[in-house]
Amino acid sequence: MDAIDVIRTKRDGRRLSDEQIRWFIDAYTHDKVAPEQASALLMAIVWRGMEPDELNVWTDAMLSSGERLDLSSVGMPTADKHSTGGVGDKVSLILAPLVAACGVADPMLSGRGLGHTGGTLDKLEAIPGWRADLDRDEMLRILSDVGCVICAAGGSLAPADKKLYALRDVTGTVESIALIASSIMSKKIAEGTDALVLDVKVGSGAFLPDLESARRLAETMVQLGSAHGVKTSALLTDMDTPLGRAAGNALEVTESVACLSGEGPADLRAVTLALTEEMLSLAGVAADPTAALDDGSALAKYEEMIRAQGGDPAAPLPEAPERRTVAAEKTGCLQRLDARSIGIAVWRLGAGRARQEDPVSAGAGVVCLAKRGDKVEEGQPLLELHADDSARFEHALTALEGGIVIGREEPEQQPLIIEKITA
């Protein structure tokens, strides 16, 4: 095989052969293909796309670059959820212990935030002592004992994706449905679960803000999961406005615990329950997740999981010392609370990162004191900004310009669950 021939094949709009795909992924993973050659192929894929069966082979080659976890020792049905990312999306913290309380084991391999979207591991690392990095044996032990674990993906799962993702990030080749889908699904299939539910966000705070692109991504990922023997479905969910009221690491942990205690914002509870019900359905388990939230069993699972990973669920969480409120400029109805604007403000307050190696503040973030559709009075506090350094407020306030709209009419109601995609 020759890298240049592979590049030319896709550059000219032809289907890569199975042999070309498997050779190229393996060769690049083992440093036998230069990064500039891999970049050229990725750009050709961005422009030319991939046929469904071609993408299946590409994803399988990425999956085969590492190991696939064997969860047969867990002794329970297994399922997981993946979100494409949003603002205030702390569903994973609630959902993993919730499905475990309902009899389905969830080995949730998660990541860190980048840009305006938050990361599950960053949120949980606000808890004193909690550890994201577990070896495979420890992860499987916790999964078997507790029924859920949330941790970082090890380097042995789809190592080709790690290399290709880093390359895409610096070569302008992120925006490709085929490459996004294969990146997500190679890692998720490698987890070894029986079922997978995808939470594909739609709206201003989503990675893919328009419905058509989000739907195509969902359909592609569902097809890839099904082709690899994983029962897969997707829910398209709203991300035009932040989910819940808190955005920021420790702030979201606090809100998650409230939801696990049978309280918390109605929108967060509704989205979490919809995803949980879909996971239970795919796993073939009849249980009532609403009851598990309300009777304390999901909260008990959460606390058990946190302790198993070295954390203290009762320990006080970090709080940012500096606070500032944003008030309503006039009386009326809050017609828009833009998720992307809030997300960028949270990032600038210190809760997010521009590069994977950047540190994050555990206490920084934004609390939404009012939500879209609420009646507000002039001077009423709408947002509370939290930061470690008051110098961050000016840049955060700039991000909010145009993101808050107050008018006389109530906004049209948007469904939280927009659409369901099945195989």
Active site residues per annotation? 82, 161, 168, 183, 187
Neighbours of 423 (CB within 10 A): 13
Token reading at 231: 């029962």
What angle, 0 to 180 degrees and rounded to 10, lies between the N-to-C axes of helices 266-283 and 249-260?
70
Distance separating the N- and C-terminal Cα atoms of the chain? 35
Q: Could you please report the per-residue DSSP string of 98-158?
A: HHHHTT-BEEEEE---BTTB--HHHHHTTSTT------HHHHHHHHHHHSEEEEEPPTTS-
Token reading at 111: 């990541």
CB 333 within 8 A of CB 376: yes
d(CA 240, CA 190): 31
In the three-class reduction of DSSP (H, G, I as helix; E, B as strand; rest coil), residue 283 is classed as helix
Name residue 238's beta-bridge partners: 202
